[in-house]
Amino acid sequence: MELLAPAGTLEKLKWAAVYGADAVYFGTEFGSLRNFAGNFTFDEAAEGLRFLHERGKKGYVTLNIYPFSEEYDRIINTAKTLEDMGADAFIVSDLGVFTELKKLGLRAPLHISTQANTTSRQTVMAYKELGAKRVNLARELSLDRIKGILAKTRGLIETEVFIHGAVCFSYSGRCAISDYLTGHGANRGECKHPCRWRYFLMEETRPGKYMPVFEDERGLYLFNSKDLALFEFVPALKDAGVDSIKIEGRMKTVHYIATAVSFYRQVLDGKRFSLEEGLNLLGRIPNRGFSAGFMKGSVRPYDYDFFIADSVSDTILVGDVTEERVEGKWVVRVRNNIRAGERLETLSPDGTISTITMPPRLIVRDGNPVQCANNSQHILIEQELRPYTIIRRVAA
C-alpha cells in the first residue's frame, strides 16, 4: 500500500519524501485546486520530480479544477511540459480534461480526483473503461461500502482513500459557499473556507439582533468539520485491496507534514498504536478535533471525543536541523524562538520522538552567544541529530 503525501511547495515535497512518503502530490501555478498553497513553478516541479525519483519515489501533479473552455489550451500545455519532466501521474476531476489528456497519448497515467465524487463500483469501472489507472474513492463512503467496491474491482484498477486531514463539510468538496460569500470559487482552487468562520443566528423579523448560540466559549462553528484520523482502519483498508492512502494538506506546514507522514509511515510498516496513543501523537499538530468521518457507516462527529475546540495543538515548532554543518556542529534553523537551557522534543525522519536540552548559552552561526534565538536565526548544536529533524516545544 502506497503512502501518498501532500506538498504545497518544493520545501514541503522534500519533507514529505524524507519522512516516509512513497509518493507526493502537488500542483503548479495553474490547474490545481489549491491556488493559495504556494504551488510550484515549472522549474520547482522539475527539481521536485528529480528529488523524488532519485529516492525511488513518485510525483503526481494535480490538474483537478473544473475549467472553462478557453482554459483548456493552458491545461494541455501544462500537462505536456510536466510529462517531459517525468511526472508520474496527473490527477484530474473534469471529464473534458480527462478526455483531452487521453488524446495526447501521455506516458503518465491519469488518476481520478476526490472531486469526481466516486461512490460506486459502477463509476470506478466506467473510469477504468475510459482509461484511468486510479480512482480516489469519495470520503462519504463507509468501510463496508469500500469493501463492496473493491470486491468487484480489485486488481482491475487502482484505488486510493483519504486517511487523514481536513474534510470539507460539502459533498466531496463540491462547495459553492465560498463563491457566494466571497467571489472566490472552491471548484476553481480559490476557496476562502467560510465553513471555518464563526457564525451567529439572526431571526428574520429581528434584523441586527444576533442570537447568542455557542458551541463553546469561542463561538459557533456551524459548518466546521472535524479532521479525519483513520489510522485504526489502515489494516482493514489494506486487506480490502486499497492501493494508496492519502493525506490531505497542501496548505499545511512542514511540521504537519513531518508529523502526519512519519506517523502513517509507521502504521503502514506494522506499528500498532492505541486510539489514545495515536491521537496524542497526531495532536502535536494543529487540528479541529478528530473524527472517523463516514468510515463507520454514518456521521458520528464525536467518535473521537479527543479535542473539541478549533485548531488545537499542544506543541510549537521552534526549529529544524538543516543539512549544513559548521565546525562539526549541526546548524539548526530557528522557526519561532529557542531559549538557552530549555528542554525540547525532537521528531526525526524515522518517526523517533526524543528530547533534547539546549546548552546554557546558544551559539548563533556568526559565533555570538545568546540566551534566546529568534525566528530566521541559525544556531549550532553539538548533539547528533539527523537533518530534517523537527525541534518543538511541548506545552506543560
Cα dist from 48 to 24, 41, 265, 284, 289, whole Å = 10, 10, 20, 27, 32
Q: Are residues 331 and 230 in the same domain?
A: no
Residue 208 included in any domain: no
Rounded to whole angstroms, how far apart are CA atoms 127 and 134? 8
Q: Are residues 278 and 367 in the same domain?
A: no
Rounded to whole angstroms, how far apart are CA atoms 113 and 101? 15
Task: Please indicate whether residue 187 or residue 125 has the higher confidence score (pLDDT).
Answer: 125
Q: Using the 8-state DSSP alphabet, how is residue 304 labeled?
A: B
pLDDT (mean) for 184-213:
71
Least confident of 10-14, 82-86, 183-187: 183-187
Percent residues over pLDDT 70 in the chain: 84
Rounded to whole angstroms, how far apart are CA atoms 335 and 182? 32
pLDDT given for residue 305 in this prediction: 43
pLDDT (mean) for 3-23:
97
Average pLDDT, the chain: 88
Q: Where are the alpha helices (DSSP H) in 253-302?
A: 254-268, 275-282
Number of domains in the chain: 2
Domain stops at, among 249, 276, 291: 291
Task: Report yes or no: 11 and 256 within 8 Å, Cβ to Cβ.
Answer: no
- Grade residue 287 by pLDDT with cuts at 50, 70 and 90: confident
Q: Using the 8-state DSSP alphabet, how is residue 336 labeled?
A: S
Task: Report yes or no: 386 and 346 within 8 Å, Cβ to Cβ.
Answer: no
Task: Compute the C-alpha angle 275/144/33, nearest 5°.
Answer: 80
pLDDT given for residue 340 in this prediction: 96
Residue 130's φ and ψ, nearest 5 degrees, are -75, -15
pLDDT tens by residue, 34-83: 655 568 999 999 999 999 999 999 999 999 988 999 999 999 999 999 99
Cα dist from 193 to 69, 80, 236, whole Å = 26, 32, 32
Question: Looking at residue 277, which CATH number applies to its domain?
Answer: 3.20.20.70
Q: Are residues 87 and 156 in the same domain?
A: yes
Q: Is the pLDDT of residue 29 over 90?
A: no
pLDDT (mean) for 17-23:
98
pLDDT given for residue 308 in this prediction: 41
Q: Are residues 19 and 149 in the same domain?
A: yes
pLDDT (mean) for 182-207:
71
Q: Are residues 321 and 282 in the same domain?
A: no
Q: Which of 21, 24, 22, 20 is nearest to 8 (CA)?
A: 24
For residue 356, the enclosing domain spans 315-394
pLDDT given for residue 189 in this prediction: 64
pLDDT given for residue 313 in this prediction: 74
Q: Is the pLDDT of residue 390 over 90?
A: yes
Q: Are residues 229 and 375 in the same domain?
A: no
- Specify burial of residue 119 (Cβ count, 10 A radius: 0-12, 13-18, 19+): middle
Q: Are residues 109 and 242 in the same domain?
A: yes
- CB atoms inside a 10 Å sphere around CB 352: 12
pLDDT (mean) for 176-189:
66
Q: Is the pLDDT of residue 304 over 50?
A: no
pLDDT (mean) for 187-211:
73
DSSP string, 38-82: --B-HHHHHHHHHHHHHTT-EEEEE--S---GGGHHHHHHHHHHH
pLDDT given for residue 186 in this prediction: 65
pLDDT tens by residue, 120-148: 999 999 999 999 999 999 998 999 999 99
Q: Is the pLDDT of residue 190 over 60?
A: yes
Q: Is the pLDDT of residue 100 over 50?
A: yes
Residue 184 included in any domain: no
Q: Is the pLDDT of residue 366 over 90?
A: no
Q: Are residues 286 and 321 in the same domain?
A: no
Residue 308 included in any domain: no
Task: Report yes or no: 15 and 254 within 8 Å, Cβ to Cβ.
Answer: yes
